[in-house]
Structure 1
């Protein structure tokens, strides 16, 4: 008798899963994108018109929309982190699991789980940086609310902010910097900004007071805490690196900096933009996430800009790093986003930075001499080509021929060492090397 009920229950469970899978596969993704985009456009228009209540109503409609939930689940199950679980160990891999997740997404009684804390290598540095990995459910909730917050963030963003924004890239930032600094009459001084642990230190009070979204949901995202080595730690400040909504929150916290500089260096006593002030001070901000530079006509103006930025950041719980925030002459050059910008005899040259070159050589060495020491030649070539293509594509728009030649030489030396290990009896001039 029990076996009969057990078999029936299993059949019903299987049938339910099949139904869920069928529902997921039948979602009209084109229509989903159109419906969400339509609501996002309305949010943009309401934001521009400063109709706060309308914005809130439209955000509510979007975050409770079936199609928005579907897109949120699809995003977290197709991005790079889809195979990385949070503290619950759960992954959504099957169509049935995805549909079940979609139907379960709700703000009613929502409580975020603590993040799983891991440490990853910091780009070009020996230090590691913390990464908080939310559960799949929390990621989907963040993706859902990001759909409602992003239109506002884009509408109110600084025009010279290039990081984590649709249709903008590092190359766009590079192009703008080149335009701002390449002429004879261009600014000669650069303030290189470095914010101490930006993502880790943004004030929760500032975010809860200023970010236009459901405060109870935002509080759950911010106050979830994290688990490391089996111990639970609270989060009092910051927005975790690893969260889908974190880049939007960080951008919104730093937006407004351009206006602060403009008010001081571009406007007259009547509060109007005055080209005489703008052209004499030559102050321009270029920001990519928490990396930024400010151009200036003189060293004194650059230092004054630094103090204004310090005050701006203070209200957000942030501060500049004294050691890394530098005022530099363009003839001495500066690094940003993996490039070095410097004038040689009055001509601005942009090329891969030394740090970027050393970092990629380190990656090649890791691939060839450590991870690849037991690989077949074909596998090693495939892996290396992926890395080479990524690096060269990133730097193809700047003066990189010298760097490419140097990397070519370094690759030859590393591959020679690999080949020598595999074929110790062969000489450097043997046919298999050439």
Structure 2
């Protein structure tokens, strides 16, 4: 067998000599066999193939490649180690061994949430990230094979746009359900039962237990981790997703044929955000909600009493940054007011923090945010909102420009910062000379 794909690579193997095409082919082959074994109900066979993959050179090489080339490659854990050289990456591959592996605690940092609160983020060491990536290669084929049909979060080839399309499909018709249970799980990632995960998730139990019990370091103090799967780990989204998988199956068993008997039961889930449709408010409140509460309780989770509510489609509800609502029988999905406000707040803060920045630099900072937000909402009814946001951003930039030149006339400011491009008369744009001496135009999207 090729040295690049054998279970035990020779010690002389170097990072630059790896045949990545052969490595990926070997891993995909094992993953396909895992899927086939699960589909055939041969779970011991799937377990053996998982062991083979997590002990293979191919799996280890791909795991190291993933964590050493992604966005967080320069963010170290508590050991302050990163893998930036071929030699370090080669050594890392050789170190990914089950025997003797003890994960170090996570380095905890707090990042702001949209509501102003802080979200704890756990940063594993590079080695722990690579071990997670390795075991994810063996777990994800099973996760995809057994996932709920209408689960769209943290899954390959699925997105929020697919979730929006499913919402439209189940709510847009005249005979569609008119009542929606908006589910909000309180601290999902932080509260999942360790015992439930260890007992039910199809992966190496010893490794999983070590990850879950590794603890975290915050402000130089070590804290135990008693529940949950830390946000920040590569494998955490899949663990959380698999914990919630089965909700759709449970509802189908508890309420057989509910889709076709007038009860209009449908589920759409994106990670820990979900909606359940039904024919009446009372049925959702008295029968469906208790079933969901029972399902979550087995996993150590609870619904938020404040945020979980039942809404009529005529009043609309917010889901994944969109507002879903029927207007005179016509369903429209638009960017939500909260999402628009958060977007404008982010732009305003960025502009205010760069009062003395060159125009070209500010354009370079704003464009990725504007483009990303517009792309996210490009699948829904957003033309009117886009125009409103354009107007608000123009006002922010006009004030930014005027403040920079208090002694200049408004005409001068306009000519200095805003150009005419075709039919557009107020384009925030400038020309600057690049390092190679060529003139380059910078234009706000």
| TM-score where L is the length of structure 1 | 0.91
Q: C-alpha separation between the residues in 1 aligned to 2:68 and 2:50?
A: 23
- 1:10 matched residue in structure 2: none
Mapped to 2, the partners of 1:429 and 1:188 lie a distance apart of 54
Which residue matches 2:322? 339
Deviates more, 1:408-417 or 1:226-235: 408-417
Give the match for residue 280 of structure 2: 298
Where does structure 1 lack aligned partners over 5 or more consecutive residues? 1-18, 268-273
| Secondary structure in structure 1 of the residue aligned to 2:129 | helix
| Alpha-carbon distance in 2 for matches of 1:213, 1:157 | 15
Distance 2:169 2:143 in 1: 26
CA–CA distance in structure 2, aligned partners of residues 388 and 95 of structure 1: 37
Match in the other structure for 2:370:
388
The structural deviation recorded for 1:36 is 0.4
Q: Which residue of 1 aligns with 2:141?
A: 151
SS in 2 for 1:208: helix
1:166-214 deviations in Å (ceiling 9; x for gaps): 0000000000110110110010000000000000000000001001111
Say whether 1:432 aligns with 2:416.
yes
Where does the alignment leave 5 or more consecutive residues of structure 2 unmatched?
1-9, 419-445
After superposition, the C-alpha distances for 1:310-342 in whole angstroms (9 at most, x for unaligned) are 000000000000100000000000001110000
Quote the Cα distance in structure 2 between the aligned partners of 1:428 and 1:179: 51
Give distance in 2, aligned partners of 1:344 and 1:26: 61
CA deviations over 1:235-270 (Å, ceiling 9, x no partner): 0100000001111110111000001111122x2xxx
Name the residue aligned to 2:125: 135
1:196 correspondence with 2:186: yes
Closer, same or farther: CA 226–277 of 1 in aligned 2, 3 Å: closer
d(CA) in 2 for partners of 1:131, 1:410: 33
Residue among 304, 308, 318 paired with 1:321: 304
Distance across 2 between alignment mates of 1:103 and 1:22? 10
Asked whether 1:401 is paired with 2:383, we answer yes
Q: Is the 8 A contact 1:341 1:348 kept in 2?
A: yes
Query: Quick one: structure 1 residues 277 and 230, their matched pair in 2 at CA, closer, same or farther if it must change by over 3 Å?
Result: closer
The answer to whether the aligner puts 1:416 opposite 2:406 as a matched pair is: no
User: 1:188 & 1:56 partners in 2: Cα distance?
Assistant: 44
Distance in 2 between the 1:218 and 1:126 partners? 32
* 2:358 counterpart residue number: 376
Residue 72 of structure 1: aligned partner: 63
Cα distance between partner residues in 1 of 2:27 and 2:63: 11
- Counterpart position of 1:285: 267
User: Would you say 1:37 and 2:19 are equivalent positions?
Assistant: no
Contact 1:192 1:327 in 2 (8 A): yes
TM-superposed deviation, 1:421: 2.6
Q: Is the 8 A contact 2:259 2:266 kept in 1?
A: no
Cα offset, 1:365, TM superposition:
1.0
User: Given that residues 20 and 99 in structure 1 are in contact (C-alpha distance below 8 angstroms), is that contact kept between their aligned partners in structure 2?
Assistant: no
TM norm structure 2:
0.89
Q: Shift of residue 358 of structure 1?
A: 0.8
Aligned residue for 1:87? 78
Distance in structure 2 (CA, Å) of the matches to 1:277 and 1:119: 43
